[in-house]
Amino acid sequence: MSVPLVFDGKVVIVTGAGGGLGREYALAFGVRGASVVVNDLGGDIKGGGKSSNAADKVVEEIKAKGGKAVANYDSVEDGEKLIQTALDAFGRIGAPFINTFACISDLIHRVHLRGSFMVTRAAWNHMKKQKFGRIIMTSSAAGIYGNFGQANYSAAKLGLLGLANTLAIEGQKYNIHCNTIAPTAGSRLTETVMPPVLCESLKAEYVAPLVLWLSHDQCQENGGLFEVGAGWIGKLRWERSQGRIVRKKNQGMFPETVRDQWDNICDFTNATKPANINESVATLVEVLSRVETDEGIAPNPTSAMATAASGISPLEAVGQKLPESTFSYSQTQCILYALGVGMSTKDDDHLKFLYEGHEDFSCLPTFGVIPSQAAMMDGGLGSVPGLNFDFTRLLHGEQYLELFQPLPTSGTLTSQARIADVLDKGSGAVILLDVHTYSGKELLCYNQYSLFIVGAGGFGGKRTSDKAMVTRNISKRSDLTLIPRFQAALYRLSGDWNPLHIDPSFAAMGGFKSPILHGLCSFGFAARHVLKQYANNDASRFKSIKVRFVKPVLPGQSLQTEMWKEGNRIHIQCKVKESGAVVLSGAYVDLHAAADGSPQILPEAGGLKSELVFAEIGRRIKDLGAEMVKKVNAVFGWEITKGGNTAAQWTIDLKTGAGALHKGPYSGKTDVTITVSDDDFMEVVQGKLNPQKAFFAGKLKVRGNIMLSQKLEVILKDYAKL
């Protein structure tokens, strides 16, 4: 780590430092050499009472670590006393704003902020009753940008913007719109400091037309902020840089890392423009997900590699179809594939995949990826407009395969491929390629390739897609297989001729010490492990598989597949036994029901309190389904846990027909999936646990479109009465 940041000789005043964030700030400054004034009133959570204990305890902690600190127990409204404590103890303070802050809660605030609030409150109920209202708050450039010597005035004026934004949200359903203007106009206050010609150009009449328009019932603007003056009007919005993740899972976060990433944090290339708190929080949700999957410190999207992304254009590429491809094969290719993914005559139950004369001779289900590869490998991807990139930077990120009927052991198949979406991951681009494979007119299988193009990100595209088949994270039971050193050479005979898997010099160009195993070969190994453990090698029970490729496997290593059964879904994770490195993650295999009629849903989860709620939801969907579908238009997946394990799954479909409630694994695609314990679910339903607090406390986990969680009220409304 580089030179640490220190605060020797500096005096820091931390208010509310007796606990929470304030305490952390005080301790951190104390450890790094600052002289700290620990201010805390010592009140209770409601703001009542007073005690010196909280501040004293933090002072003792700082001194115990060799730091310098003094306590202060005054209210922040007594700012002069707090400042005097710093002067008496350390002879100086660190901020020159004593005089202006002395009146921050005085006349300026009473007139500008509280006055606006009081007038609006008096009018609010009248506006609600008449289902119409227009409110225009008057802020100032000093509030938006700050201005020397006007801390009190600026604080009040920016406070008005926060008030207006919240009123815009709360008033929307009553047709009450609230907007904010920041006018620049000549007045009695400015005529003494502005030349007469300038005052004449900044007449108030050049502001009034905007106010009139925003007040008219035809104007549907709501929550806007406008600068206006001299006959010019401009709308302002927030802009946020892509930012940087500066910590890794289970590791600390350090100010030195912040310093070293500062240019990237402040780089507004491809900046986002969050328009509401949900869009703001959505970024944090994604950050939590990326930290959880150990992506670590994110690279700079404006780095040299990212600038190579000029050839990526989602608008041109998405929806484009690749040339149709044809794949003819015989039983020989089926056998070669089975050998390529580790089948052996040493196991009697492998024989039906290796011997064409076997009475149950079958094609392994994951052979379904082979005919679909032709669409990509025959140069079709390079012909797509908007996808001009270096193919040597293409990596296989994820793979989804679904079978609609068992694969024939020979035949001629056709595949139709389409660009489903293109995503900007900052350090690279992700291409979602959908491939449907047919035998004649019958659909045999569907593949989705998630292809990562290193260095092709930073083009300003979206990071997620509702078209992506998602992965899941769970694992338990295991199977172990040694990958022979000839395995990659054998697997490539199935059609993947990439020299990366056979030629040491080519592998070295890619940064590998030796040729690596095909990702789809590991994919095949994992699938057959599941087929053996949970389906008795019955290929007809295979429905689908989804995996994320994390790291390569080297021939000669041992591949360990961990498995955990959840109904008819088998969650899997593959590791290299020798190193413990995860190579396939978030993966699962879905199986069809056994021929004996075994159910495709989870066993009854007796004793779950949430079952009563879902039963009531089902009844209400039957009565009011069409109305709820109209309001919600989404599919919600629920994973209810007990004792840390998934105990029940529910799907509330308020998108299709008159709505429906499903129990057990869902074959369709959910818009959002929520994982929560049975106890916490009931706490949320009964209003005892705030969903947002539950989310940030890790009690409620959300995958998919987090914005849809706002519509949960329609689904869960009034269930506390159960």
Contact partners, residue 447, CB within 8 Å, separation at least 6: 368, 369, 372, 399, 400, 401, 402, 434, 435, 437
Who contacts 10 (Cβ-Cβ below 8 Å, separation ≥6)?
29, 33, 34, 35, 94
3-state secondary structure 289-342: HHHHCCCCCCCCCCCCCHHHHHHECHHHHCCCECCCEEEEECHHHHHHHHHHCC
Contact 142, 88 (CB under 8 A): no
Distance from C-alpha of 588 to C-alpha of 547, rounded to nearest angstrom: 7
**153 belongs to the catalytic site:** yes
Q: Measured between alpha carbons, how far is 670 from 663 in angstroms, rounded to an integer?
A: 13
Distance between alpha carbon 168 and the CA centroid of its chain, in Å? Answer: 26
- How would DSSP label each residue in 37-103? EEE-----TTS----SHHHHHHHHHHHHTT-EEEEE---TT-HHHHHHHHHHHHS--S-S-HHHHHT
Q: Are 401 and 446 in contact (CB under 8 A)?
A: yes
Angle between helices 20-31 and 53-64 (to 10 degrees): 30
Provide the residue count of the chain: 722
Instruction: Count other Cβ atoms within 10 Å, centred on residue 521.
Output: 27
H or E, element range at 177: strand 176-183
What distance, in Å, lies between the first and last C-alpha atoms of the chain? Answer: 57
Residue 43 token pair: 């009140």
Question: What strands, in cross-sheet order, belong to the sheet with 225-229?
Answer: 133-138, 176-183, 225-229, 232-236
d(CA 303, CA 300): 5
Residue for token pair 């008096």: 122
What b/e readout covers 534-549, taking b as 16+ CB neighbours within 10 angstroms? bbebbbebbbbbbbbb
- Rounded to the nearest angstrom, the gap between the alpha carbon of residue 298 and the centroid of all alpha carbons in its chain is 14
The CA-atom distances, in angstroms, between 346 and each of 164, 361, 481 are 74, 17, 13
Q: How far is CA 455 from CA 154, 297, 382, 429, 575, in A?
A: 43, 16, 17, 7, 27
d(C-alpha 169, C-alpha 222), whole Å: 8
Q: Which of 25, 73, 145, 153 is catalytic?
A: 153
Q: Between β-strands 442-454 and 582-591, what pairing exists: parallel, antiparallel or unpaired?
A: unpaired
Using DSSP, state whether 280 is helix, strand or coil.
Answer: helix
Q: Please name which of 638, 639, 677 lies closest in space to residue 654, comparing C-alpha atoms.
A: 638
Using DSSP bridges, classify how beta strands 569-576 and 558-566 pair: parallel, antiparallel or unpaired.
Answer: antiparallel
Measuring CA to CA, which residue among 292, 307, 587, 279 is closest to residue 450? 587
Active-site residues, by number, are: 153
